[in-house]
Chain A
Amino acid sequence: MTSIASTATGLLLEASGISKTYGAVVALKDASLAVRPGEVHALMGANGAGKSTLVKILTGAVRPDGGTIAVRGRERTVHSPAEARHGGLVSVYQEPALIPDLDIRSNLRLTETPIEPFRHWLAQLGLEGLDLSSMARHVPLASLRIVDLARALASEPDVLMLDEMTAALPANLTERVLEVVGRRRGGDSSVIFISHRLIEIAAVCDRATVLREGETVGVVDVTEGSEQQIVEHMLGEAASGIAARTGAAGAARARVADVKPRVAARSLASGARLHDASFELFAGEVLGVVALEGQGQDELFDVLAGSERPSGGELLVDGNAASFRHPADAIRAGLVYIAADRAEALLMQRSVRENIALPFITRLRAWGLIDAGEENRKVDTAIATLQIDTRAHGEVRRLSGGNQQKVTIARWVAGGVKTMLCFDPTRGIDIRTKSQIYVLLRDLAEAGAAVLLYTSELKEVQLVCDRAIVIFGGRVVAEIAAADADEPTLLRAAYNLRADVEMPEVVAAEAVATGTAADAAVAASIAAAATSAVGGPSSASAPPAGGDAPEDAP
């Protein structure tokens, strides 16, 4: 019956009644998805809603417990991703799917990807310069994602599934991806697009299917103002429009002029990309860092976190020259680092608890017996603060992507921080928890911590930061107060254009695509709804004076 129905409606892909359980964890209960030819179809849902699992099932990487899948009206069982690829279903999974110890070319050979189309797509996506003989492990995460996408595109899929493709990309690459995805609208093939960023959904998607706790709870036509509706479906409650505290309501946080900065960088240089970065980070503030891909921000964070030694310049912590030989030195000096790549930061086979408690035991002094009570208390607080879904807590690799990301943050929140270096911490995290993290960062700052926040999502700057620095070509080229840091301004600065220069066409288009007033309003109301509904450690309307912040913070 299903097949007749779908031929009649002309659906390209139809999945219905899909279920999947892992032991006691119900990943999917009754998920359905119908994709028309030529549409870009958003798959939405909070962290752990089952989006990735559904995509893995559609491409045969995971086998469902029940349900049916029909492609062009014909019912099908897909046994492996290779089989799905031959059938026209190709996915870019949430985690990079390249073998780290092979070069890109060999990786392509593994999936029988034709080289010429691949190069074409790579160029379309703005990565023509990539050396195909470089080992995958040496390619930065953002480029890896693009390689993954180009590889998928090269096999000319009927249905292309992008699982949080843009989460790890800086603004310029995100724009390229959205452009490529948008161009597929109205053709013969379709795209299933997963993202936690409503802006992107509004920009390229025709319809959205919303999952909640493994169930399809709604299908929404994406039009002006449908964001609100999607969010309501996702969260399962009305996102009421209480006035939100938007991040930087500057005045209250005016700095006393003569305080010493917590961290001061003077002409820091490192590697091939970071040449001359100077800035100051003060206690009690959230300082944003904005940069396009590969402007030296990775190197900067590596130096600050103690993973790399600078090749030049000077780093002062609390006024004293610091030279870190090992991350342990940075941690001792109070600088903790939320890594860019969660695969780098997590013990995938260990429990959530062990992952969060990892920094407590690294010092020689802590090698002895663990104080279980104390550890539990800290870990439980951190889990609650970040709302980590711990149904599959035994091994972190079984958590959903967003929940894994939360664990990397929880680790440093649990111990209390003086200086927090965050590299895109909200990557892959759903909107509800995202606003929770914004509140958390603000609370940390209010309690006296200094927070350095690199973000690829430009609107975060105004939501959480007091001011932002912009890095271009390995140098800090601008400092912008939060009040002025709207997205066009930031983008202009990120491309190192002076304010009076006309923006080139592409840049202007990006500015329009990435920032609209309406969108900011939605984000703000979500922030308010989430904090009031969830009742996290602090409420949006009455920020505490620091009582709720981790106890070690000064």
Chain B
Amino acid sequence: MSGIATTGPSRNRWLTAAAWRSLFRDRPMIPLLALLLVLVIVSDIVRPGVVGTEWVGIMLRAAVPLAILAACQTLTMLTGGIDLSVGAVASMAGFVVISLVLSIGLPAAIVVALICALIAGLVNGIGVGVFKVHPLIMTLGMSLVVLGAANFWQIQTVQTSSGVPPAIRTLGSDVFAEVLPYSLIVFIPLAIVILVGLRRTGYGRLLYAVGDNPVAARLSGARSWQVLVVLYIISALLAAIAGFLYAGYTNVASVSLVDSAVLPSVAAAVIGGTSIMGGRGGFGGTIVGVLILTVISSLLTSLGYPEAVRQVLFGAIIVAVAAAYTRVTDQT
């Protein structure tokens, strides 16, 4: 009797903590959406009245290309990998289109850029899937190779400097119906394909399987090299598409345009609940993670800090949010 009486209070406290934790674990979207809401409210407090349709448009326009890069990370992280070459591939793709558009026209330029990306992805996939190179090393190496090749190309093409083609610029930076950026026309179908693909296709399931337990996947008859080669090709193609949007968004042609988006793309996936060890997560969480990072970044800008301070704060916040989030949700 006395024993039960003494354990009473501590047990209640424990129960509530456990209840919260299991809620977060089973519905990881809830704390994420709550955090996003808080950030929106804070944005509105910092600069009263700023949150409105126009603000939403600005946020979405910035978020879409990052969300596509974060899709690359989500998919590769599900298999326990990562794709650090997305920045270089995206920049390269944007640059190739801009430098070729005058001579061969936009559609052909896009095709060439996609083929270049495909080759990079194929090599990544073969390295990771067939030769078992660690994805970190493989894709980091690949990003150097791609950067070097793009630089070489830059020197070869005498500064044609045609500027970003108008179609790409519209896609990357214009909005329709007041708030909706044109980039959503690209993003929404892609997002649907990724979301449905992960849940309802055999290939999507295999990504999780290979990431969760490669031995089990093998014993069940999966050949993981096939899965991985296709995966890194998909990732590179997505990166190229993101590259087109970034070029249009910034209206700049540069071979290192997207480099600074690589860390946020990884962070968005981690914050969105995708495990870097593989086997757990999804694109829905990643999208919310991207929105969170986008709002944080704009919040820091609106606070008027200099660029250097903003970078420090942004990096620190990414680490803090990721750490807090994994702590809350990663209970076994």
Contact = CB atoms under 8 A, between A and B. Distances in A.
Tell me whether A and B are bound partners: yes
Interface of A: 1-3, 16-17, 22-23, 63, 65-68, 70, 75, 305, 307, 326-328, 331-332, 337, 339, 344-350, 354, 357-364, 366-370, 372, 394, 397, 411
Most chain A CB within a 10 A radius of its CB, from B11, B220, B226: B220
Contact of B3 (A2, A307, A326): A2
A305 B203 contact: no
19 contacts: A1-B2, A1-B3, A68-B3, A75-B3, A328-B221, A331-B221, A347-B208, A347-B216, A347-B279, A349-B280, A350-B208, A358-B205, A358-B209, A358-B216, A358-B222, A367-B202, A368-B201, A368-B202, A369-B201
A67 B7 CA distance: 7
B200 interface: yes
Interface in B274-296: 275, 279-280
A65 B205 contact: no
B202 to A, nearest CB: 3
Contact of B14 (A63, A339, A345): A63
Contact of A337 (B203, B205, B219): B219
Contact of A362 (B7, B18, B222): B222
A68 B202 contact: no
Given A1-B2, A349-B279, A368-B202, A358 B11 contact: no
Contact of A372 (B3, B200, B206, B221): B200
Contacts of B203: 361, 367-368
A22 B216 contact: no
A344 B215 contact: yes
Interface in B226-262: 226
Contact of A2 (B2, B14, B218, B226): B2
B26 interface: yes
Given A23-B22, A66-B11, A350 B279 contact: yes
B308 interface: no
Interface in B165-181: none
Contacts of B34: none
A345 B201 contact: no
Given A305-B219, A326-B218, A367-B203, A394 B3 contact: no
A513 to B, nearest CB: 35
Contacts, number: 116
Contacts of A357: 205
Contact of A360 (B202, B217, B223): B202
Contacts of A63: 14
B213 A362 contact: no
B221 A347 contact: no
Given A328-B223, A359-B221, A361-B202, A345 B7 contact: no
Contacts of A369: 200-201
Given A367-B203, A370-B205, A362 B22 contact: no
B136 interface: no
Contact of A346 (B201, B216, B221): B216
Contacts of A17: 4
A354 B205 contact: yes
Interface in B112-136: none
A361 B201 CA distance: 8
B208 A354 contact: yes
A1 B279 CA distance: 49
Nearest to A330: B221
- Among B11, B205, B219, B221: residue with most chain A CB under 10 A: B219
B278 to A, nearest CB: 9
A75 B212 CA distance: 41
Contacts of B213: 344, 346-348
Given A68-B7, A345-B219, A350-B209, A367 B2 contact: no
Interface string B22-36: 100010000000000
Main secondary structure of the interface of A (DSSP, over half): mixed
Given A2-B3, A65-B15, 19 more contacts: A1-B1, A2-B1, A22-B22, A66-B7, A67-B4, A307-B218, A326-B218, A326-B223, A328-B221, A344-B213, A345-B215, A347-B217, A350-B212, A361-B205, A362-B220, A362-B222, A364-B226, A370-B201, A394-B26
Nearest to A347: B212
B103 interface: no
Contacts of A372: 200
Contacts of A3: 3
B332 interface: yes
Nearest to A326: B223
A513 B206 CA distance: 46
Nearest to A23: B22
A23 B22 CA distance: 6
Contacts of B18: 65
A524 to B, nearest CB: 34
Contacts of A359: 220-221
A350 B280 CA distance: 8
Contacts of A411: 220
A6 to B, nearest CB: 11
Contacts of B218: 307, 326-327
A362 B206 contact: yes
B281 to A, nearest CB: 10
Nearest to B10: A77
Contacts of B226: 364
Contact of B221 (A23, A363, A397): A363
Top 3 nearest A-B pairs (CB, nearest first) are: A361-B202, A68-B3, A362-B221
Contacts of B332: 397
Contacts of B200: 369-370, 372
A193 to B, nearest CB: 26
A357 B209 CA distance: 11
Nearest to B18: A65
B221 A327 contact: yes
Contacts of A344: 213, 215-216, 219
A345 B222 CA distance: 12
Contacts of B1: 1-2
Contacts of B205: 354, 357-358, 361, 370
A349 B222 CA distance: 18
A277 B232 CA distance: 43
A238 B17 CA distance: 41
A354 B211 CA distance: 13
Contacts of A363: 221
Nearest to B3: A68
A23 B15 CA distance: 10
B214 to A, nearest CB: 10
A66 B4 contact: yes
Nearest to A360: B202
Contacts of A368: 201-203
A65 B222 contact: no
Interface string B260-275: 0000000000000001
Contacts of A366: 202
Contact of A370 (B202, B217, B222): B202
A347 B209 contact: yes
Q: Which of B2, B22, B205 has the most CB of A within 10 A?
A: B205
Contacts of B208: 347, 350, 354
Nearest to B278: A349
A75 B217 CA distance: 47
Contacts of B22: 22-23
A89 B221 CA distance: 43
Nearest to B215: A344
